[in-house]
Amino acid sequence: MANRRRRPSIALPWERQGAWLRTLLAGRRWRLALVAAVIVAAVVSMASAADERQRTRETRAAIAEIKRSIATFRADFGRCPQSLHELLHPPESRRRYLRHVPVDGWGRAFWVECPGRYDPDDADVVSAGPSGDFLNDDNLR
């Protein structure tokens, strides 16, 4: 018993810092801590992926809505709208083509080019995607 280290009877707060972690990882408890950490990481990862899929779906739906509105506007007026705001308040009509200016799933505005660069009979509507930068390769069309 002489070789055993005796714990002091008074424990000061700075002497016990990190004691809960040492207690948790002592003996075989480290396996339990490792399993719990892996489960938490998996749940967070799945929630993040589901959120990303939801934002992408919302963005694609908004793109389709803008394209439909532009096509209807072009059929009525024979020209492209000058901006998305013209779809809210058309020049000589009481009909509104959009109820509000849509934003993508990340809350940012779309880039619209009418007539489209790739299809002159349609409009190009692009979202900057998750990065928020049109120069990155994660844009949604």
Enter the pTM of the model.
0.65
User: Considering the domain boundaries, does residue 132 fall inside one?
Assistant: no
- What is the phi/psi pair of residue 102, to 5°? -70, 150
User: Considering the domain boundaries, does residue 118 fall inside one?
Assistant: yes
User: Considering the domain boundaries, does residue 3 fall inside one?
Assistant: no
Check if the beta carbon of residue 118 is closer than 8 Å to that of residue 107.
Answer: no
Residue 6 reports pLDDT greater than 80? no
Supply the pLDDT for residue 100.
83
**pLDDT tens per residue across span 14-69:** 666 666 666 666 667 777 778 888 899 998 888 888 888 888 888 888 888 888 88
As given in the structure block, the two tokens for residue 24 are 């948790």
User: Considering the domain boundaries, does residue 79 fall inside one?
Assistant: yes
Show the domain range for 65.
Answer: 18-126
How many whole angstroms separate alpha carbon 81 and alpha carbon 101?
13
Owner of token pair 């939801």: 54
Supply the pLDDT for residue 121.
80
Supply the pLDDT for residue 32.
76
User: Considering the domain boundaries, does residue 140 fall inside one?
Assistant: no
**pLDDT tens per residue across span 99-108:** 888 888 888 8
Give the total number of structural domains in the chain.
1
Mean pLDDT of 94-114: 82
User: Considering the domain boundaries, does residue 5 fall inside one?
Assistant: no
Long-range contacts of 73-80 (CB under 8 A, 24+ apart): 73/97, 74/114, 80/114, 80/115, 80/123
ω into 115 cis (within 30 of 0): yes
Mean pLDDT of 61-78: 87
User: Considering the domain boundaries, does residue 111 fall inside one?
Assistant: yes
As given in the structure block, the two tokens for residue 90 are 């058309």
- Taking alpha carbons only, the member of 63, 67, 62 closest to residue 123 is 67
User: Considering the domain boundaries, does residue 11 fall inside one?
Assistant: no
Residue 8 reports pLDDT greater than 80? no
What percentage of the chain reaches a pLDDT higher than 70? 74
Supply the pLDDT for residue 23.
67
Question: Which CATH number belongs to the domain containing residue 65 in this structure?
Answer: 3.30.700.10
| Sign of the torsion formed by the C-alpha atoms of 97, 98, 101 and 104 | negative
How many whole angstroms separate alpha carbon 3 and alpha carbon 5?
6
